[in-house]
Amino acid sequence: MDLGLVDKVVVVTGGSKGIGEGIVRSFLAEGALVANVNRSEGEGRALEAEYADRGQECHFIQADLCDAGACATAVQAALDRFGRIDAVVNNAGVNDGVDLEAGPEEFVKSLERNLVHVYAVTHYALDALRASRGSVVNIGSKVAETGQGGTSGYAASKGGLNGLTREWALDLAADGIRVNTVIPAEVWTPLYENWLNTMPNPSEMRAGIEQLIPLEHRFTTKEEIADTVVFLTSPRSSHTTGQIIYVDGGYTHFDRKYR
């Protein structure tokens, strides 16, 4: 299936590792031009160089997105490089463990790490998205629906992200801009593996988690998340907007008892 993304310009935040890297690679496989906005330079430059050797554009833009000014600068850098923006994928964020006892100051910082930059990047890209009749895909979390415990800031941010998805889908429908959210649950990434390896018995814990995932009793891959994101930005999903789509093997909504 031709997704019609050749030479389309996509801004991906946090695209240098984990789910974000999978998203970047999936777009590049479809012939898109990617602006990867990330705080850490080493991984971003390495990815840029890897694709430059293949004659493909994976342009790295260094930015700490907790700074709204940096969000504006990053969007402008993408426009300076490519002249247009056809899609924004708001992927950057971290489950930072800011709980109810952390206090208001830390809570606000968590919102800045996980929600405010989503608003800022999309705001600064809005004129370009209107010009291209583009799309926005946000990367959410099951935590917005299920809770997790000990992560008030992240849960509030991801709940807010779901709300913004519906709000923006209505706001921007007249401009032909579609807005959707993809919800991962248990996705196998190096970060997840590192966390699991801090547990007393990682292999046993992994097997226990897999048993709670109804479809095939396995983790979702980052490529499965990425391919859904790419489809949602493409003309093949041209009448899909305001949707919150769970790519999780049924983990979030199905009974999790062992089977």
Q: Is 197 a member of any domain?
A: no
Catalytic residue among 119, 124, 154, 251: 154
- pLDDT value of residue 84: 98
Q: For residues 69-95, give the mean pLDDT.
A: 97
Structure tokens at 22: 């999978």
Euclidean distance between CA atoms 65 and 117, whole angstroms: 6
At 201-216, the pLDDT tens digits run: 999 999 999 999 999 9
At 27-60, the pLDDT tens digits run: 999 999 999 999 999 999 999 999 999 999 999 9
Q: Is 4 a member of any domain?
A: no
- pLDDT value of residue 1: 80
At 16-33, the pLDDT tens digits run: 999 999 999 999 999 999
Helix (H) or strand (E) holding 204: helix 202-211
Confidence of residue 255 (pLDDT cuts 50, 70, 90): low
Name the domain count of the chain: 1
Q: Judge contact between 5 and 29, C-beta under 8 A.
A: no
Q: At which residue do the structure tokens 């226990």 appear?
A: 208
Q: Is 253 a member of any domain?
A: no
Q: Is 214 a member of any domain?
A: no
Domain of residue 226 covers 9-185+222-246
pLDDT at 71 over 60: yes
Q: Is 213 a member of any domain?
A: no
- pLDDT value of residue 30: 98
Confidence of residue 259 (pLDDT cuts 50, 70, 90): low
Q: Is 157 a member of any domain?
A: yes
Structure tokens at 190: 């190096």
Q: Is 256 a member of any domain?
A: no
Find residue 244's DSSP bridge partners. 181
Q: At which residue do the structure tokens 């690679």 appear?
A: 25
Judge whether 258 counts as a catalytic residue.
no
CATH number for position 175: 3.40.50.720
- Residue of 182 and 188 predicted with greater confidence: 182
At 110-161, the pLDDT tens digits run: 999 999 999 999 999 999 999 999 999 999 999 999 999 999 999 999 999 9
Euclidean distance between CA atoms 88 and 75, whole angstroms: 10
pLDDT, averaged across the chain: 95
Q: Is 232 a member of any domain?
A: yes
- pLDDT value of residue 159: 98
